Each structure stands twice: as structure tokens, then as C-alpha cells.
Structure 1
Amino acid sequence: MSAIGLPPPPPAHRSPPPYFFLSYARSDDDLYVEQFFKDLSGEVRVRAGIGSAETVGFLDRNLEMGTIWSKELVDALATCTTFIGLCSPRYILSEPCGQEWHLFAQRCEQYELDNGRRSTALVPALWLPPRQMPPAMQRVQYDQERFSEAYRRDGLRQLMRLARYHDEYLEAISVLAQHIVDNAEVDRLPPLPLASRGEFAAAPNAFDTALLARAEPALPKSTDVHFIVAAPNRDDARLVRGDVSYYGEQSLDWTPYATTHTTPLAGFAREIAARRGLTAGASTISLSPAGAESPDGGARIIVLLVDAWTSQLETYRQAVERHEERHRATAALVPRNTEDAETEEHWRLLSDGLRSMFLDRIATRDSLVYRQDILTHRAFDEDLQIVLETARNRSFAVRGGLPSAPPAIGMARPILEGP
């Protein structure tokens, strides 16, 4: 308590969380890394409207294998809004770098569970592109197409070393800086609670696939995910629409994003599941009123892939409604290609039909249960990854394994909470 008549002491000054955390492998390129950090920090300040004396990034210059993690590093990793990993052959062999990646990836996963959308805060920046990215990096969806071909081929290190790439280097700095500022101002990742910042140094190495295989819960030996396609074949589609170029002889040939992605949706979905380390099967929805549900290979996560036009085909509509009554898939996803002019023209009618088919799902307001208006194949890729990972994580949170069926629609779903 302050003396009578004297003002209370000023509160202790707390530095704001860094805009970004720069993770890199210690090597002979440290001088280049220092310059990159300086250049990126300067561009972030300009784009965020921050004074030149303010600190916007964190670069650890001391951590090596076997050393103690400093409080400054732990706090920066727990509070920064973007993680930049300088990917190189040396980086993916570094245990501290793999630990830093793992810890920040967990923050992103928790954000996705809480908000139902992907975080873009984990950024693999190409420093010296390795021959093969570890699975932990391959799972990160970051649009490298925004950078120059020289960057994607040779990486930032080469752009800095060769004068002819100066413009490409400045462009890469600008792209990264704007992404960092957007993450901080538009879609901020919440900090890790103080109580959870304990034994950071004991974190697993995200790049050690053998270690992670031993540490992670084993998935079922049978098919992990099964996709059920609710879409007509070409002949049935002609009953309700004129443009049937998105359909084939079988329902599994349905390719809603054919103008930009020519792989049938069921095959594309299986590819996405494989990238998440899941085995997947696919079949069409049963049209027989008395028939059993399509085989699912013992899968515990079932995903309906629904063509909006099924709402106008009575046979398919009834098949979906029977599935909803008897089986209740984990999630239902409805692609919508904005380049499909006929679908766009009739979308209000189709949307109303979908609403009546999936009223209970829509009423839950749970993004895992129902996703509509997936406008591009890239958006479908991101949305399906969130659905699969969220379903798997929720399942492990409930029983330590995948449940045999999701909760009934309309009932409260289990929510992943802290320890």
C-alpha cells in the first residue's frame, strides 16, 4: 500500500506480444538470417504503423540441443500471432526447431477446434528448400503460389545472395509482412495460458516421425474415414438440370469443381484424408428404401458429400433423409462452384431444399456437423481437413479413441476442453 498522499506506483510495463516468431536452424547462414529478420521486422512495422524503435518479432540466438529454454523464448512462442519456420535441410534435422514447430502447431489446432476454421498463423518459409518436407510441414496449407518462381525453386537464402533476385526478395518480404500483420489485426491467435507454459523443453519433435508414431494414439486398423456421395449420375441429373458436364456414368464420378479441378470429389476427398494420415473409402448413398447403408469398411468417421441438386430429385432426397434418420454421418459437406452458372441461377431454390433436408444439422450451428457454400476446390480441401481433424480430436477427447457413431443430431456434442 502506498503512503498517504502519495500516488500508487505505476504498473509494471509489459511488452506487447510479438507479431511473429522466427524459427531457424543455427548454421553458417546466421548473418543472412539476421538480415532477413531485420528486413522483415522493418516491413511489418511499416505495414502495422508502428514506430521504428518498437520490437515486432522474436529471434532466439542461443537455443541449441540440450540448452535451457529461456523465459523470453517461451513467452514469445506462447503469445506471438505468427510463426515463421525457415525451412531447410538443416532445419528439419534440428530437434529444437521441431519442438518449436510442434508447440505452435498445437496452438493452431486448438484455435481450429474452438473456431471451426483453419488458422494461417503457421508459415513454412522456404530458406533452402529441402528435398522432401516432413509430414508435419506437408499438413500445413500455406499458399506458396503468392511468391515468385525463384523463391519456390531456390528459397530466400539464394534471393538474398544473388543481386539479380533483389526484386523477388523484396516481394517475398512484402508478402510475408502483410500476412503477419493480417494475422495480428484480423484473425489473432489467442495466447497460451501461463499455466500451460511449463515444460516446453520436453515437447516432442514434430519432424521426428518415428517418435510421433510411438507417441500418438493408434488409429483403427480398418478404414478410418468413409465418404458417402449423395449425387446423381449423368442420366438422373438430366431430370432436373441442363448442364450435366459435372456428372458421369456413376454417382462417384461427380466432379463439382470440374472447371478448376478435374478429379471426382470422392477421389479428391480420399487424397485429402490420406494427407492427414487417414485411410479412406467411398461409396454412393443407398437409393433402396429397404437396402442397408453403403458399406463403410468399419470407418468411425462418416462424411456425406452432397450435391445441392439432390434436393430436387425425390429418390435422392429420400435417400439422404433415410440416412439422416438411421445413421447420422459425422458431417455433411455441400460444394458449390460459383462458375457453375446453372447452380448459381437456381441457388435460392436449392438452398431452401437443402435447409429442409438438413434442418437439424443447421440448427446445431456446429461447423463440424454441416458445411454449405464451399465455393472452390481449395476451400473444400481446407474445410474437409478441419472436419476430419476436429472429428478425430473430439473423439479422442471423449474416450481416448474414435466412437462408433456421432452424437444424435440436436443433442449437445462433446466439446474438447483443457486438461
Structure 2
Amino acid sequence: MTQFFLSRAAGDDDSYAIRFFQDLSARVRAISGVDGEVGFVESADNDSRSPWSAPVRNALAGCQAFVALCSPRYFLSERCGREWWIFADRLERYAKQTGQHPPALLSVLWSGGSGMDGAPGEGGEAVRQLIRLRSHRPRYEALLTTLATQIVRTVEEHRIPSASPNFDPENVPSAFDYAGMESTIQTPSAKELAEGATQQVHFIVAAGTRAEMGAVRDDTRFYGDRGQDWAAYRPALSGPLVAHARTLAAERLFRSDVIDLDDLPARLDQARRNNEIVVLLVDAWITKLAAYRRILAEFDDRTDSSVAVLAPANGTDAETVRHSGELRAGLAQTFPHNLARGDQLVRIEIDSPESFEIDLVSALEEAQNRIFSRGRVFRRPVQDAPAARPILQGP
């Protein structure tokens, strides 16, 4: 029987997460007197797109405790949200059957600092920090003991029902999907933003699918079935660029979503009304496709002070380097007004993931500053509290 399932976001300091799992497993074995494997975690080489293997399904279906390593990246992961939902659903069924509410869903602050309210580590510090520093070893050991004791006690005192034999993780919702709550959530005013409220960022990906890009370039390994799959910096950054951008934004306490390029005009209007930021991630190769070029040219005719345009150009992609001159010309023809202004929010030929991070963070800060100084100020109407979100429990 799997006593606990460790849920973590791939790429969130994998080696330290695996070490934490090993340390926690050893502590559970020591307290329970059970030999062998007591927990489950996916291997470090698995990512959010890995198939749901039989071992993962079995561990999720039968584990008696669920330990979540909470971080900004974690709450952006649809896979982690589904894992959480599956266990929370099992807990809810147990509560209905027995009237008991065991503390079996345990959240641990992995990273994120003050932006992750309600997900404590020992003393409120991120466990990723505790595990790295020798000076924090006593506090780390104390946390392991607290968690392991709670896991063992849960296993001894409760029997959480298994998921149905044929359950499919692909067909369950994410516990972190608040789309249905959008109508009840008010956007912060400029004053509230200045006082520390989080800012909304809309990411829009201007890139084609693998099939579309095959018509204009030879190397299509950077693309997928959707424009949002564009992995601009592969192989250095294997995942989609927009997923990396959302993680960088979340680490700086920006809320974000991803919208289709076709929704660009409407979302620009919404962003202007509600003091929101729009970030357009542009693949320069897309300017070779007439349909996309028309959409982007219409955007260029507008003047939106809080819209950032970032155009990565992978410096290790030989085909992109070879065609850099014509790609630069394509951007100039598509965005003549934006480029002519020399705006700090418009950045092209970003040649590496490191440069992208610097440029994105700078653009977000600049856009936010403009909203603070020029944004539309309004009062939030009195409204009922939004529906309950997942509740974090800690040791």
C-alpha cells in the first residue's frame, strides 16, 4: 500500500524534490516500522506532458496521504491540479461516508515566499531553502518528523477509499481551474495594485502549428499541434515558451492566463478597461504567413501603453540565424509603429532563455508602472465572496 503520494511540479528544482521525497520516505519507515517503499513520486525526468503511467494511476488511486510541494509553478500546473482534485475527491467521499475529516492532504511551502499564503513550511520558510542550507538542518529534520508522523497516524486511523478502478486522470478537472469564477472576481484598481494586490497578465502566442510552419521553414521541431506549443528555445528550454513565461510571472506574483490570438482585439479592450497587462509572444517566422501577418498588423495600428511585444530568436537555431535579416525585416513590416516608437515594451531578437527572462520581467515591471501612473481607477462594487477554493492544510 502506498502511504503517501508526493505531488510536485516538474522542473521545480527536481533534484531537491527527489531528495525531499527520499528523506520523508525514510522518516515514515522509521516511525511506522514498515520496510520497503512507503511513498510515490514521479521520476525527475518526467514532465507535465508525460503520459499517466500505470504506477502513477495506481499510486493516486490508493495512497492514504497526499503531500503537495506548493509553489507558483505548482499552481500553474494542470497535471498537479488534477492530482490534487483526484485525492480531494477521495477525501470528500470518505467524509460523506464516515463524517470524519482526516488531515490527509498536506501542503508544504516549496518556494514562493509571502505569495503562497496558507501553505507553510516549518516556521513559514520554504522547504527548498531549508533543504539547501546546512544551518537549517534542525528545522528541516523537525519538519520531516512532523510530516511523517501525520502520514503514519492517518494511515493507522483512516482508510481513504480508492478511486474507481477505471478512473482516467485525463478526464478529471484541475482543482486550480477558477475559470467558472471569473464573473465574481473583480480586477484590482490602480490604487489597490500599488498597495500590493496581484496584477493580471494575458499572454498571447503569435506562432503557428507544426503543419502551418512546415510551409515556410524546414525545421519544425519547435512547434506542436497548437500555436501555444511553440518551444522557442528548444533544446535549452524544452517546454512551451508561454508555460515558462507564466512561471516567471507567477514567481513575481502576477496572475496570468493564455488566450488565443484570434481574441486579441477583444482582450486588448478588456485590458485597457480593467488595468491589465497584455504580453504578445511573437515568432518572427509567423510574419511569413499572410493570415497571421494581417492580425498582427491590425494590432500595430493601435496604441496600447501596457502591451508588451517580445520576439524571441533562438541563437542556437541555425535556420533562424541564417534567415535573421529577412525575419527582422518581416517584424519591421508587421510592427512599423511599435518599432518606430522605440518603446521599452517592444523587444525583438531575444536570443536565449536568460535574455528572455530579463526582458519579460523588465517588460512586466514597466507595464505595471505605466498602469500605476496612467491606469483607470475605479471602485470595486460590493459583492458576495467568491466560491471556495482548495484549502491548504499544513503539518
* TM-score range for the pair, normalised by the shorter chain length: 0.3 to 0.5
Structure 1 or 2: larger helix share? 2
Rg bigger for which structure? 1
With a CA cutoff of 8 Å and minimum separation of 6, indicate the structure with the bigger relative contact order.
2
The TM-score normalised by the length of structure 2 is 0.44
